[in-house]
Amino acid sequence: MAIVTLRGTEFETVGELPPKGSPAPDFRLTGADLNEIKMVDFSGQRIVLNIFPSLDTSPCALSVKRFDELAGELENTAVLCVSADLPFAQARFCGAEGLGNVVTGSTFRSSFGEDYGAMFRNGPLAGLLSRSVVVIDTDGRVIHTQQVSETTDEPDYEAVIAVL
């Protein structure tokens, strides 16, 4: 379990992010078209998992917009924005914001939060995902992780760029 804060109050996650150097856990998410998104769909590409609680919060929305910009500049890299938002809400957000470089994946019908150790165990956000980034190389190994210690903060974009 990891400890993260929300406006200074501590909360627990169900586990910890996968360790650097380890094989990335397989995942199955629900895409905007309600079809399943699997890790194998990105075979041969690097994957940036931008994990967050909900698009309905400012830091989450800002991270998706920033990662959309970055995704347009990164070669052989898929950026997957993962939250518990329903696929319809994710598609509506990306459409309204004109975002087309990221892929959205909903944890609707998924064990992603548990598998990646990123789901809040307690507190007002219990069941949602803590703000985290996991970068996976072309061989399916974790090369970078960040679990943002204060949920209202954005992730370290420069650290993601540096590892890629």
- Positions marked active-site: 60
User: Which amino acid is present at 156?
Assistant: D
**Residue whose pair of structure tokens reads 């590409």 in the numeric block:** 45
Structure tokens belonging to residue 103: 């892929």
End-to-end CA distance of the chain: 27
Radius of gyration over every alpha carbon of the chain, rounded to an integer in angstroms: 14
DSSP state at residue 118 = -
Nearest to 146 by CA among 136, 128, 161, 159: 159
The residue among 124, 129, 69, 141 whose CA lies nearest residue 100 is 69
Strands of 13-140, DSSP E = 28-30, 36-38, 46-51, 77-83, 103-106, 132-136
> 3-state class of 91 per DSSP?
helix
